[in-house]
Amino acid sequence: MGTNLMNRKLGPYLLAAPGLAWWMFFLIIPCALVLAYAFMERGTYGGVIPNFNLENLVRAFNGLYLEIFIRSARIAIESALISLLIGYPAALAISRAPRRWQMPLLFLVILPFWSNYLIRTYAWIVLLNRAGIVNQVMMATGIIHEPLTLIYNESAVVIGFVYNYLPFVILTVFASIQRLNPELTEASEDLGASAWQTLRRVTIPLTMPGIAAGGVFVFVLSIGNFVTPQLLGGGRMKMVGNLIQDQFASARDWPFGSALALVLITIMLALLAIQARIQQGVRNVEKEQEVA
């Protein structure tokens, strides 16, 4: 009897232990080290000297590094907006498709995730280079008369981000649309609203949590990415992720790299807080409508 009671008490903790251990060793401890290193000093030959100072954080906001932060944020915002412009109509179309077609369509959305991220990114090098399929098709159809430089620039980086992260937008928006009470859209149509008015005044506002979640997903994953700018930007498009990688791998300046990472983490947490506020606001509206 006593053993069974003890098992019941310890059972939930034992089940949660692997997840908590993973969370501790791969999230809490690394973030704590980043926070600590950001306020320390670089050694003469690399490494860290435990000498508390704010120099690294001040340096992170100097002209050159601030410019890289602004460029990274701009590219991430562009990628998020384009992903939303493509992903929202796609999610809406899937949600309005016959139920038997929804799962196959969602399967096609997540199918690219079955291949490696690097392979998907390298594929765009093949497609966008001067002898690639895109240039060849445009030349064959007479749109252009000589190959365009479509790769190793900012546009190629944005294309890579949109392609790799678009499924996150489609899935989050689709889930938000599925949660929408169909009686609300029916009531809007019964009151004489057109399909566009219903979409603009009912569907989009009430699916704002999915829009915010998808946009934050793309922004956060893009601003810290260093692989896509390296491959599709050809090393010319340096973003925050590349800068942080350089500090840890090449410059051996772990304190400054940690300071840059700390600023990046702060930006991400601020965005997540904004997303949570938006989601809570929409939930409050839904509760008020249910009461009414």
Looking at residue 5, its pLDDT comes to 53
In eight-state DSSP terms, residue 14 is H
Cα–Cα distance for residue pair 292/282, rounded to 1 Å: 15
Question: Quick one: pLDDT at residue 194?
Answer: 87
Position 289 scores a pLDDT of 62
Domains of the chain: 55-291 (1.10.3720.10)
Name the token pair of 284. Answer: 């409050």
Burial class (CB in 10 A: 0-12, 13-18, 19+), 216: buried
Ordered alpha helix ranges (H), 141-203: 154-179, 182-190, 195-198
> Which run of H or of E encompasses 226?
none
C-alpha span between 285 and 205 (Å, rounded) = 10
Per-residue confidence in pLDDT tens, the chain, 292 aa: 455 655 566 667 777 788 888 989 988 999 999 999 999 999 888 789 999 989 999 999 988 899 999 999 999 999 999 999 999 999 999 999 999 999 999 999 999 888 899 999 999 999 999 888 999 999 999 888 888 888 999 999 999 999 999 999 999 999 999 988 888 888 888 888 888 898 898 899 989 999 999 999 999 999 999 999 999 998 778 899 999 999 998 889 999 999 999 999 999 999 889 888 888 887 776 676 665 5
Residue with tokens 């506020």: 277
- The one-letter code for the residue type at 208 is M
pLDDT attached to residue 291: 59
Rounded Cα–Cα distance for residues 66 and 63 (Å): 5
Tell how strand 41-42 and strand 48-49 pair up: antiparallel
pLDDT of res. 9:
67
Q: What is the pLDDT of residue 56?
A: 93
Q: Which residues make Cβ contacts (< 8 Å) with residue 124, sequence separation at least 6?
A: 151, 156, 159, 160, 163, 232
pLDDT at 217: 93
Say which amino acid occupies 123: A
What pTM was computed for the model?
0.88
How far apart CA 288 and CA 292 sit, in angstroms, is: 6
pLDDT digits (tens, 9 = 90+) for 254-285: 999 999 999 999 999 998 898 888 888 877 76
pLDDT (0 to 100) of residue 186? 82
Distance CA 194, CA 177 (A): 18
Report residue 139 CA to chain centroid gap.
Answer: 34
Q: Which three-class secondary structure state does DSSP give residue 204?
A: helix
pLDDT at 46: 79
